[in-house]
Chain A
Amino acid sequence: MSKGNTKHKLDVNKWVDAYSDYLFNYTIARINDRNVAQDIVQDTFLAGLKSMKNFKGEASERTWLISILKRKIIDHYRKINSKKGKAEVRMNYNSDTESQGDWLEERVSDNLEINAEAIIINEELGKAILECLSKLPEKQAQVFKMKTIQGFETEAICNELNISASNLWVIIHRARTALSGCLEKNWF
């Protein structure tokens, strides 16, 4: 490829390990469907591969991939809204005697915990956590993710990775210490 003297380079073989979780989190915050989000992440990688020649090396790999991902997400929404009638909003008045004439939306109780600000903060927090996770040694990050985020049983992880339980707890301990130190600096 013609990227000669540029600073940033693309290394396709590392993409999945390095960025898939980051991209996936970005997607899942916008598209609330695991399967669709996974497909979109995969599409993004493939699209990135195809347009590697266009990568000028001005931005980092991840920024570049995110920009592709954004297009993919927009495309997804365009596709599901393109069928006629789907984009049209249908509203019905309720016909129950008591709340006759109320909009459906008005009957939903306010959820105080879910407001835009909290969602944004939590998304930022998620980013910070992933950022810190990517700084951990690979093994620690892997064990920590399996245990904490995916919620596997201790035994299952031990079998899968062929480590002993006490070994696992030592890894978890190191990961937690490093993570809280990292978050301390970047978040709290």
Chain B
Amino acid sequence: MSKLFLNCDEANKICDKSQYNEASFFDKIKLTLHLIYCKACRLYSRNNAKLTDCINKSKVNCLEESRKNEMKISLKKELVKNQK
């Protein structure tokens, strides 16, 4: 039962996981318990949630890696053509 009390590293890991909805129910209980007495992790947890919120709100978008590679290849081709 010693695992009921997390250290800060473990707590942060669960906090990160919970941002992606990947923390189990028991994990969340342990995290909440930890947050009751750990001020540093409370702060981290709050900032972390804020970050997730920001990213969702801003709707940042990314290109897929495959598409980026395509671009790189076509750029390289052009570059070679230009140098000739």
- Judged by a CB distance under 8 angstroms, whether A69 is at the interface is no
Give min CB distance, A182 to chain B, whole Å.
10
Q: Which of B1-57 contact A (CB under 8 A)?
A: 12-13, 16-17, 19-20, 22, 44, 47-48, 50-52, 54-55, 57
Of the candidates A42, A149, A169, A179, the one whose C-beta lies within 8 Å of that of B61 is: A149
CA–CA, A129 to B53, complex, Å?
Answer: 12
B contacts with A, residue count (CB < 8 A):
34
CA–CA, A38 to B68, complex, Å?
Answer: 9
A contacts with B, residue count (CB < 8 A):
42
Of the candidates A123, A148, A184, the one whose C-beta lies within 8 Å of that of B47 is: A184
CA–CA, A187 to B57, complex, Å?
Answer: 14
Of the candidates B54, B76, B79, the one whose C-beta lies within 8 Å of that of A183 is: B54
> Given the interface contacts A125-B58, A154-B22, does A21 sit within 8 Å of B63 by beta carbon?
yes
With a cutoff of 8 Å between Cβ atoms, the chain B residues found around residue A129 in the complex are: 54-55, 58, 60
- Chain B residues within CB distance 8 Å of chain A: 12-13, 16-17, 19-20, 22, 44, 47-48, 50-52, 54-55, 57-64, 67-68, 70-72, 74-76, 78-79, 82
